[in-house]
Amino acid sequence: MNYNKKTINDVDVRGKKVLLRCDFNVPQDKVTGEITSDKRIKAAIPTIKQLLDNGAAVIACSHLGKPVATFDGFVKKQVEKGKKAEEVTKESWEKSLRKLTLAPVAKRLSELLGQEVIFATDTIGPDAKAKAEALQPGQILLLENLRFAKGETKNDPEFAKALADMAEIFVSDAFGTVHRAHASTAGVAAYLPAYSGLLVAKEIAVMGKALENPVRPFVAILGGAKVSDKIAVINNLLEKADTIIIGGGMAYTFIKAMGHDVGTSLLEADKVDYAREMLDKAAAKGVMLLLPVDTAIHDKFENTDQFLTVDTAMMPDGYMGLDIGPKSVRLFTEAIRGAGTVIWNGPMGVFEFPAFAQGTKAIARALAESGAITIVGGGDSAAAVEQLGFADKMTHISTGGGASLEFLEGKELPGVACLLDK
Ligand code: ADP
Ligand code: MG
């Protein structure tokens, strides 16, 4: 995978129409549909401003939620949910679509930019075409939710071409969807020269460098719930890192592989052999693999101050590990302290329970104080770092949960591969 891709700094956009794929997949209030966080809209502003200031006419587009693009598809979904097919109406389908219109995003974007955002009520239909045609340098148009069109997620070449036909340049700035081969994330690049926006450029630069040419020692910290979610990540990072730290729920499958009992902790019995293989691979490659040496345990999955802390080699029956213990924190912190690059994916414990957020908090602090290049990937890890107040202390917090995971797996991401090489 080549991470050396052209960005909007490598192209003259003056007088050009630019199709800009944004991530305006904002959280909304379930009842009122109101935008509950405009973080993603704010994040898009620097790229949009740079394009507009440099004289481009910007045609912005995004998906929002998971609308079902056809009435037949909607009926099928409702039947799966237990509704009778004959009870499902066209009106309820249209109502479900209306909830996912990007019109409120256009309004918020306009407030943030301090200029009008023209809104098209379709994606490649007559309204979008006419408004794109008339668009002047310095103006911005937002198309309606891309997933209202059935060609988007199917990466239908005709839909991609119709999107591309409105513009002369494609700019990809929605990192959260670069692992998907959709019409607006990859398909359009078959018809337009493709560049990264500032958000995607930073993701590729920081994470690409960490994987390709990291400042060493390179420490990878993996946690979270399941080994099965992160198999490919562990395997890829074993090829690159000097030290791998494993915490969180997935650590217990490794502890089991080392021959210890883990009580009622999260355990993927069918992954124990794989964990053993990874331990052997680490040893063979000279990668230091650190596991928790102690753990906070409780007999129920709940928040409590009445938990016990035991060595992981001596976990009693009927108890589950819900966080790493203080000795593990010391061991892990020591490894992080000397690092040149740290990648962190997955919390160390059930951080949603305050009593079991200690390990995650301590690791976040260790990263913040390490002086290393620190990269946080993964939705829950990013949320934990923000919730604990360490967000501005990290070099980079990846905005794409699934995308950053696939990045760390070393997979080719369609939305990155399609960009022009430098
Ligand atoms: P990310 O989104 O950062 O990639 P994951 O989705 O893989 O992280 O995992 C996050 C989840 O893992 C959290 O909901 C957390 O509660 C859970 N988790 C962490 N440690 C444990 C544990 N010891 N037992 C059960 N669940 C855990
Ligand atoms: Mg997650």
Q: What is the pLDDT of residues 46-65, one digit of tens each?
A: 999 999 999 999 999 999 99
| Percent with pLDDT over 90 in the chain | 87
Report the distance separating Cα 168 and Cα 186, nearest Å.
15
99 noted as active-site residue: no
192 pLDDT higher than 90: yes
The pLDDT score that the predictor gives to residue 227 is 87
Question: What is the pTM (predicted TM-score) of this model?
Answer: 0.88
330 noted as active-site residue: no
Tell me if 23 sits within 8 A of 177, measured CB to CB: yes
Q: Is the sign of the CA dihedral 88, 90, 91, 93 positive or negative?
A: positive
**Ion ligand 2: residue ranges with CB closer than 5 A:** 379-380
The pLDDT score that the predictor gives to residue 250 is 95
Report the distance separating Cα 163 and Cα 185, nearest Å.
11
The secondary structure element, H or E, covering residue 280 is helix 272-285
Q: Are strands 218-222 and 243-246 parallel, antiparallel or unpaired?
A: parallel
Closest Cα to atom 14 of ligand 1 = 350
Mind listing the pLDDT tens digit for each residue in 385-419? Answer: 998 899 999 999 998 878 888 888 888 999 999 99
| Cβ–ligand 1 contact at 381 (below 6 Å) | yes
Report the distance separating Cα 300 and Cα 305, nearest Å.
12
pLDDT band at 30 (very low <50, low <70, confident <90, very high): confident
Longest dimension (CA), the chain: 71
Mind listing the pLDDT tens digit for each residue in 212-248? Answer: 999 999 999 999 998 888 888 999 999 999 999 999 9
The pLDDT score that the predictor gives to residue 387 is 87
- Which atom, in ligand 1's list, is nearest to the CA of 225? 12
Give mean pLDDT, residues 152-176: 97
Helices 358-370 and 326-337 cross at an angle (nearest 10°) of 20
Report the distance separating Cα 411 and Cα 237, nearest Å.
12
Angle, CA 348 vertex, CA 347 and CA 349 arms, to 5°: 95
Give mean pLDDT, residues 146-162: 97
Torsions phi, psi of 144, nearest 5? Answer: -65, 160
